[in-house]
């Protein structure tokens, strides 16, 4: 049974137009609170006020609220941003998807307010620790970045020689959650790299790429094998002498919506369907072993 922890929202920071980070500190008992590994999550339980009825409208593809506001206690899952090596607090990032919980929580929870964390739990990234993987490609879209940051911090604090490449996809540069934090993390270790892609912003509007922080425009995999391009560290001579690249050694974690992971979503009739290709499809196409892929689906579409 996961434990329940009463926590206080110690610090709330706006990270993008639709997301905020929350530093939660335990109010009393913290036994077991930090017994998690990067990739795991907590259920965040909070009292919010919201319209009595909120239903999804297939035509407008939006949630439509109606009726008077009522108070409800609701809980949703949020992956941990902080590393278990950082005792004293739990950091979460919450992004609004225009649903029934996150937008109201983001509007209503203030610094000093009490919430409850239930957990920690989850198996995402578990294999990394069980297999002692040394090469990790973390694929994220939007709010899917927490586990990548937790893993990087964990590697730093434990002085692990694990190579981590963060592939982070967002609509525009302004949508990148924790942009500065990711860059700062990469600057702390030669083992870390970040590749940001903006799917709806041209390259000339993005910062200049450097050796360890790259920017690209469009979706990952549109032109070539993204993983090979950004992980093959061999010099030119080694590349000329052998065809072998090291990218297939990478263990891949993919986190975000179903469309980012495997292109699945609801079709016009509301049925589950394969609507496009996701990161997993591209990895498999380039002969990545399914046993080197782990997925954490936050929500559908
Ligand atoms: C393990 C795990 C970890 C997670 N970690 C994070 C995290 O770190 N940060 C984060 O921000 N989120 C995370 N999430 C997602 C989070 O739990 C919530 O799902 C998210 O905050 C949205 O909740 P909501 O109630 O506000 O939205 P919901 O009401 O659940 O709506 C979500 C989306 O689905 C759409 N939708 C709702 N009903 C339908 C329908 N019938 N047909 C089609 N579309 C529909 C809505 O329009 C909306 O866009 C995680 C999820 C999981 C499972």
* Domain 3-121 indexed as CATH 2.40.30.10: yes
CA of 170 to the centre of ligand 1 (A): 17
Q: Please state the domain extents for the chain.
A: 3-121, 126-299
The SS3 of residue 172 is coil
Atom of ligand 1 at shortest distance to CA of 62? 47
- Model pLDDT, residue 224: 80
CB distance 222 to ligand 1 below 6 Å = no
Whether the CB of 80 sits within 6 Å of ligand 1: no
Span from the CA of 228 to the centroid of ligand 1 (angstroms): 32
pTM of structure? 0.96
Largest CA distance in the chain: 70
Closest C-alpha to 82, from 36, 43, 114, 115: 36
What pLDDT score does 53 carry? 96
Q: Is 100 in the pocket of ligand 1 (CB under 6 A)?
A: yes
Q: What is the pLDDT of residue 31?
A: 96
Testing ligand 1's pocket by substitution, the residue of 43, 99, 123, 138 carrying the most ligand atoms inside 8 A of its CB is 99
Q: Which helix H or strand E contains 259, and what residues bound it?
A: helix 258-262
Mutate to test the pocket of ligand 1, among 102, 105, 259 (most ligand atoms within 8 A of CB): 102
Residue 235 is predicted with a pLDDT of 60
Q: What is the pLDDT of residue 222?
A: 86
What tens digit of pLDDT does each residue of 65-124 get?
A: 999 999 999 999 999 999 999 999 999 999 999 999 999 999 999 999 999 999 999 999
CATH topology of domain 126-299: Rossmann fold (3.40.50)
Query: How open is the CA angle 119-125-129, to the nearest 5 degrees?
Result: 105
């Amino acid at each position: 049974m996961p434990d329940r922890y009463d926590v206080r929202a110690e610090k709330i920071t706006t990270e993008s137009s639709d997301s905020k980070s929350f530093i939660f500190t335990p109010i009393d008992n913290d036994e077991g609170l930090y017994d998690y590994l990067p990739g795991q999550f907590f259920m965040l339980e909070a009292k919010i006020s919201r319209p009595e009825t909120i239903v999804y409208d297939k035509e407008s593809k939006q949630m439509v609220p109606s009726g008077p506001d009522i108070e409800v206690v609701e809980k949703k899952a949020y992956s941990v941003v902080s590393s278990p090596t950082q005792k004293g607090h739990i950091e979460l990032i919450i992004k609004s998807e225009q649903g029934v919980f996150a937008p109201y929580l983001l509007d209503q929870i203030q610094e000093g307010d009490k919430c409850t964390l239930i957990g920690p739990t989850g198996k995402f990234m578990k294999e990394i620790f069980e297999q002692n993987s040394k090469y990790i490609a973390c694929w994220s879209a939007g709010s899917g970045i927490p586990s990548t940051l937790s893993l990087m911090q964990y590697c730093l604090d434990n002085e692990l020689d694990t190579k981590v490449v963060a592939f982070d996809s967002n609509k525009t540069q302004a949508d990148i959650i924790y942009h500065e934090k990711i860059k700062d993390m990469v600057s702390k270790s030669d083992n870390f790299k970040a590749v940001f892609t903006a799917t709806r912003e041209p390259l000339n509007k993005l910062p200049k790429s450097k050796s360890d922080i790259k920017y690209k425009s469009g979706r990952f995999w549109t032109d070539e094998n993204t993983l090979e391009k950004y992980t093959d560290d061999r010099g030119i001579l080694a590349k000329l002498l052998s065809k072998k690249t090291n990218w297939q050694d990478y263990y891949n974690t993919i986190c975000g919506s179903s469309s980012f992971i495997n292109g699945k979503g609801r079709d016009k009739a509301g049925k589950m369907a394969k609507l496009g290709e996701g990161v997993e499809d591209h990895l498999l196409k380039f002969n990545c072993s399914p046993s080197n892929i782990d997925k954490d689906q936050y929500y559908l579409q």
